[in-house]
Amino acid sequence: MNWKAILEYYYRHREAINGSIIGLIIALAFLVFGFIKVIFIAICVILGYYIGKKTGEDKYFVSKALRKIKNKIFPPRM
């Protein structure tokens, strides 16, 4: 096998190959786990990505978000 040629092909068509692999993984997950469970996992992954990205950008994101939630549940008295 010519690994150099394989790597060159991969680098030229990286998006299509990665998309195909992701599609295959999602299809297998639907077959194994079912639709609802896969959707739940996808929502959890997207939420985790969002929170991780925000905490990477803003160190105090989680404490600010928890404070907002607390203030909506228990509004401050005046």
Same-domain status, 39 and 25: no
What is the pLDDT, as a whole number, of residue 23?
A: 87
| pLDDT band, very low/low/confident/very high, at 5 (cuts 50, 70, 90) | very high
Looking at this protein, which amino acid is placed at residue 9? Answer: Y
Same-domain status, 48 and 23: no
Same-domain status, 40 and 78: yes
What is the pLDDT, as a whole number, of residue 11?
A: 92
What is the pLDDT, as a whole number, of residue 78?
A: 67
Spatial neighbors of 40 by CB under 8 A, at least 6 apart, are none
Give 8-54 pLDDT, tens digit per residue. 999 998 888 888 998 899 889 989 999 999 899 889 888 888 877 77
**Residue written as token pair 């040629």:** 5
**What pTM does this model have?**
0.55
Same-domain status, 24 and 42: no
